Structure 1
C-alpha cells in the first residue's frame, strides 16, 4: 500500500507536466519492481494446479503473443534511425529480444554488453573484449588480474576471481543475445597489467546492468 501511495504521489506530481504535453513514464526502478512481482505471480500460478491456473497461464501467454505481434508491426514501420533509437531503451530492448524482433544483429548486441562491463573488469585489474561468434557460440577474450587484493579470500589467487568475472560477462551476453547457445573464454593475449584494489563482483554486475 505504501509503495502504491508513493507511486500515486509521483504520478500526481507529474500531472502538471502531463497537462503541458509531457508524457508521464514509470522510472526504471518501478518497472523492474513490476517485472520482479510478475515473476513471483507467474511462479505462484505454475505451482498451483487446477483449471483456473491453466486458464490464467494461457491468458498470459496469449496476451504476450499479441503484444509481441504489436511490437513486430511497430518495428516493420520503423526506419533504421527510429529502430536504433527504440532499441537504445533498456525495457524496449528487453522486449525486442523476448519477442525475437530486435533490430540489431546478435554480435552487435553481445559486443555492446561486453563493452559495458569492460570498465568494471579493468577496475579489477583485468580486461575483457568481444571476440566474435561462430556456430551459435560467442567468444570473449579475458585477461585475468595480475594479482589479488585482500578481497580474494582464503585459498584465492586470481583464478577464482577470473572465473567469476567470466560468468558475469557470460550472463550479460546471453541476456541480450539469447540466440547464442553459449559463450566461451579464449586465451588472453599476454599483457602486463598491475592490479588495483579488489572490486566486489556485485559492483561489476550492477554496473554492467546499467
Structure 2
C-alpha cells in the first residue's frame, strides 16, 4: 500500500475515533481527544516547518509533486505555491482533459470545462464524467484542499456536418 493511501487511512481512522468519542456522550473525553489531535498537529507542523526551512526551496521542489508531501505542506500552511499553481498541479496529476475557468476562493468552487467525449455522440458523458470527477476531486484534495466543490461544464457536442451534394443531371421531361 502506498504512503498516500496509508495516510488517508490513518486520517479516516482518526475521524472514526473522534466520532466514536462524540457518540459516547463523554464531552470531557471528546474535548481531550480533539485537543490532543490539535496539539499533535501543531507539533508535527512545527517539525515540518523546520525541515522545509532547512531544506530550502531548491531541495523542496522535487517533493512538491508527491501528493502526500504536498498535502502535508498545504495542511500546515507551508506549501510554497499559491492555490492556482497547486490547482494546476492537481489537474495535471489527475490527467483529466479539462480547462480551468476560475476558482472562487469565497465559496471554494472550481469551475472547469471539458470537451465532449470523442465519438460519444450524445454528449452525456455519464460514466466518463463520473470517473473524471472522482480523479479530479482526489487530486484536488491532496494538492489544493481549498477547493471544496467542482463544477464541470461540458460544451454541447458539435452539430453534425451536413453533406450537401449535387443530384445527377436528368433531362427535363417535356409534357
TM range (shorter): 0.5 to 0.7
Residues 1:164 and 2:141 aligned together: no
Aligned residues: 153
Q: Which has the higher helix share?
A: 1
Matched, 1:141 2:108: no
Superposed displacement of residue 108, structure 1: 2.1
- Post-superposition Cα deviations, 1:21-48, rounded to whole Å, max 9, x if no partner, equal xxxxx95254444344333223222322
Question: CA separation of 1:135/1:158 partners in 2, compared to 1, >3 Å: closer, same or farther?
Answer: closer
Match of 1:42 in 2: 18
- Give the aligned partner of residue 72 of structure 1: 49
Task: Structure 1: give runs of 5+ residues left out of the alignment.
Answer: 1-25, 122-127, 149-155, 193-210
| CA pair 190-42 structure 1, distance change in 2 beyond 3 A | same
Q: Secondary structure at the match of 2:110?
A: strand
Do structure 1's residue 129 and structure 2's residue 129 form an aligned pair?
no
Computing the radius of gyration from Cα coordinates, the structure with the larger value is: 2
Cα RMSD (Å)? 3.4
TM-score (norm 1): 0.57
Provide the secondary structure at the position in 1 that maps to 2:24. coil
1:184 alignment partner in structure 2: 151
Name which structure has the greater RCO, CA cutoff 8 Å, separation 6+.
2
- Counterpart CA distance in 2 for 1:187 and 1:33 is 33
Unaligned runs of 5+ in 2: 160-175
Q: Which residue of 1 aligns with 2:167?
A: none
